[in-house]
Structure 1
Amino acid sequence: MAVRFSRSSSELSEPTLVCRTAASPDEFAEYAKIRHAVFVEEQGLFERTDQDEFDHDPATRHVVGYLDGRPVGTVRLYPLPPSDEGEALWKGDRLAVLSRYRHLMLGGPLVRHAVATAAAAGGSRMIAFVQLANVTFFRRLGWSAVGEPVPYVGVPHQRMSIDLTR
């Protein structure tokens, strides 16, 4: 499933972000390259790679955002075991937009795509652990903070949650 997100404009055509799940080895390589650029090279959160066991789980969706055909952003999502309340949980993580494209505010379409994908797959709630600088951004997209910040790879992250049934 590919979803297009575009912003309205007065005179000039705005770029369109097309979000789709990586379906080939080449698309996964583009996805991994963006994550590496952001989380390893730019932010230094990981030493060699940010890939983990979820990258090899067949239930994981690796989403790439294409701007005018160029891969510029990513987000990863996957199902979790049901909550104690029986909710069908999904987790979103590894949201990344290449630094030279951040001024175009492409993170929102990537997050909305992840939320819509998890909802369409039967999810009832999605969680994410968000760097503190991005909490306001997620709140604007309808997410709520849960609990206090916790450390992840040495950086405080806030657990966030969104209802997928609304």
Structure 2
Amino acid sequence: MVCRLADGAADLATHHAIRRSVFVLEQGVFAESDHDSRDDHATTLHVVGFVDGLPGGVVRLFPLDPSNPAGEWQGDRLAVLPEFRSSGLGRPLVRFAVATAARLGGSRMIAHVQPANRTFFRRLGWVQRGAPELYVGIPHLPMDIDLVVAAS
């Protein structure tokens, strides 16, 4: 498995196609598209994960304050296509996002995680911080990870 930052229009199109497949077509989280203004921001990083050379999953990350990449980051839009879920691609995608934010000087990464994925994130070192919150009408758990600790 290989994870890398989207490099060029084709990678970015693949990234968005996987997100649409999971969040719009499969889960119905969004009606038409999960694309938002954050996708167009210069500091947003789009990651694509590959299994045996085939794109199978994605994650998006960005500093919460674009003028301060040494502060908090957010990871979101983690999506793995159904046919790649048994490959374990989700772990390297999350680890890649965490390592990238840490390498860029981030101190902490936050995420809003669907409750079914709580144990998955806990096993990767994430901690739940508070009660479930509604996001697009679906409960999500606020979770975070210390990037300094995760990078060491």
Asked if Structure 1 and Structure 2 have the same fold, meaning a TM-score greater than 0.5 normalized by the shorter chain, the answer is yes
* 1:1-166 matches, cutoff 5 A: 17-81=1-65, 88-166=71-149
What is the Cα deviation at residue 136 of structure 1? Answer: 0.7
**1-side partners of 2:25 and 2:123: how far apart?**
28
What is the CA-CA distance between 1:81 and the residue it aligns to? Answer: 2.4
Higher strand share: 1
Task: Look up the equivalent residue of 1:113 and give its one-letter code.
Answer: F
Mark the runs of 5 or more structure 2 residues left unpaired by the alignment. none
CA distance in 2, matches of 1:78, 1:154: 23
Q: Which has the larger radius of gyration?
A: 1
- Give me the CA root mean square deviation: 1.1
Cα deviation code 1:130-165 (max 9, x no counterpart)? 000001100000000001000001110000000001
Structure 1 gap segments, 5+ residues each: 1-16
Q: Distance in 2 between matches of 1:148 and 1:126?
A: 18
Distance in 2 (alpha carbons) for counterparts of 1:103 and 1:69: 16
Give the AA of the match of 1:148: A
Identity of aligned residues (%): 57
Deviation per CA, 1:18-52, whole angstroms, max 9, x where unpaired?
10111100000000010000000000000110010
How many angstroms apart in 2 are the aligned matches of 1:122 and 1:77? Answer: 13
Name the TM-score, length of structure 1 as normaliser.
0.86
Greater helix content: 2
- TM-score of the two chains, using structure 2 as the length reference: 0.94
